[in-house]
Amino acid sequence: MSKTVRVWANVGTILAAFWLMTFLVPEARTMMLDVLASFLLGLWVTLFLWWTASRVERLRRFWRLLAAGWTIALLGNIVWGAYEMLTGQPLPYISLVDIFYLARYALLFAAFIKVMKVPAGKQWVNLITVLGASAILALALYCASALSAHQSLTLYLAGAVYPILDMGLIYLALEIWLRPPQEALRLPLGLLALALVAYGAANWLNAYGHLIDWSAISGLASLFWPLSDALTGLALLNLPCYRANPEPPAA
């Protein structure tokens, strides 16, 4: 591992430890330090993605699309935070900021479909099945909760789009992990799949949390989003081009 990559790894480790500390300490959460730590961790992995995309030879377009996806999501977070700071009001559940997050999904789907060439053949049927099953689950879960809580069903079904899209991305990531373009990429692609699972779990909790007592599960949702960034950074650090060169065989 080169000195530069070691610096990336050390910075990521420090930020992950800082985020975990702020998440576990109630006083730090009161001061919103966990939000700051989560933002810094997201900024780190976004920059690391761009740096990686500028140096890898194989699948460069794939990493560029991922970097673009993380970047536009980070911009959405900045706009979200600026709105709440300037207005003193929480961001509406559905707002123009969602354009940033939907664009993230478009870029990530493009990375898998256009570059990794998945799904292919019958895998399209599997992807449609996954999306359909997720939609049915979201419909059943959110309809029942919205009706019992006397909430706007249309509003929360719109928010359920994110968990459904997450399931599609998770399926594509698992397909690539099971059939990697080269065996050396199996570990980083597996970690990337776990990152998408964590992101999806956060969105499922976030969407459902708006229908019930939000305080009961908000901690879990805010745990999984930064965890997704940490796992993505770990995936990058395990790319073949960053691993330490093996020791030469003994004479």
Degrees, nearest 5: CA angle 49-52-53: 85
Which amino acid belongs to residue 234?
L
- For residue 52, being part of any structural domain is answered with yes
Mean pLDDT value of segment 125-145: 83
Supply the range of the domain harboring residue 129: 3-237
Tokens of 230: 């940490």
Q: How many structural domains does the chain have? A: 1
**Do the domain assignments include residue 53?**
yes
Q: Does residue 214 lie within any of the structural domains?
A: yes
Decide if pLDDT at 166 tops 80.
Answer: yes
Provide the H-helix boundaries in the chain: 3-24, 26-30, 33-53, 60-87, 98-110, 123-148, 153-159, 161-178, 186-209, 214-237
Whole-number pLDDT of residue 216 = 58
Q: Could you tell me if residue 245 is inside a domain?
A: no
pLDDT of residue 249: 40
For residue 137, name the pLDDT band (cuts at 50, 70, 90). Answer: confident
- Tell me if 243 is assigned to some domain: no
Mean pLDDT, residues 183-203: 95
Residues 55-74: what's their mean pLDDT? Answer: 94
How is residue 136 written in tokens? 């049915």
Q: What is the pLDDT of residues 70-120, one digit of tens each?
A: 999 999 999 999 999 999 898 887 889 999 999 999 999 999 998 988 877
What number is the average pLDDT over the span 115-143? Answer: 84
Please report whether residue 249 resides in a domain: no
Residue 183 lies in a domain: yes
* pLDDT of 7 higher than 50: yes
* Higher pLDDT among residues 145 and 223, named by residue: 223
Closest CA to 117 of 176, 189, 196: 176
Residue type, 122: K
* Cα–Cα distance, 235 to 124 (Å, whole number): 26
**Position 251 in a domain:** no
Distance in angstroms (rounded) separating the CA atoms of residues 162 and 168: 10
CA distance 207 to 139: 12
As a whole number of angstroms, the distance between CA 219 and CA 51 comes to 31
